[in-house]
Structure 1
C-alpha cells in the first residue's frame, strides 16, 4: 500500500489580494507528482482554474471540496507526467491581480 502524500493548505481569505496568486502559484510550482494543494477562498476560484488550464495544460487536476456560498475549498493536484515544469515557470500567474511578479 502506498503512503499518502502530504497536502499543503492555503487559506487565501487571510492573504492580501495582491499576494494571493503569487503564493498559490509558488506553492503549485513546489508540488511533485501526486502532491496536492488545498485552497480555501471566500469566492469561486474559477479564474484560477482557467489560468491553470490555459498556462499549464495537463499538469494539474482539481476537485471542488466545498462550493460556497460562504466558503469554497478546492483540491489541486500535480498530475504524474514525464515533464514537470520548473519552479521558475510557476513563480507568477500572468494575471491582473495587482502583484509585482
Structure 2
C-alpha cells in the first residue's frame, strides 16, 4: 500500500502530487496520505473528478494534532 507524506510539501503542490501518485497505482491498491489536517477538500475533489476513486472505501484517522492518515482506494 503506497504511502505519501505531504506535510512537508507546499500546500499549493499537494493535490497535484497526490493525484499523480493515485494515477500511478494499480486498480485495487490504496494510497495512504499523511497530512497535517483532515483532507476533506481533497476527498470531495477526488470524488467529483476521479472516476477510479472508490469513495466508499475512504477512511481517515487522526494520529496526532498534526498527523492525519487518509486512505484513498482505487477501484478494481
The two structures have a TM-score, normalised by structure 1, of: 0.64
In structure 1, the gaps of 5 or more residues are 1-6, 81-101
Partner of 1:21: 15
| Count of residue pairs brought into register by the alignment | 74
Q: Select the structure of larger CA radius of gyration.
A: 1
Question: 1:67/1:33 Cα in 2 relative to 1: closer, same or farther (>3 Å)?
Answer: same
The two structures have a TM-score, normalised by structure 2, of: 0.82
Partner of 1:54: 48
Give the CA RMSD over aligned residues: 1.8
Between Structure 1 and Structure 2, which shows a larger proportion of helix residues?
2
Structure 1 runs (4+) greater than 6 angstroms displaced = none
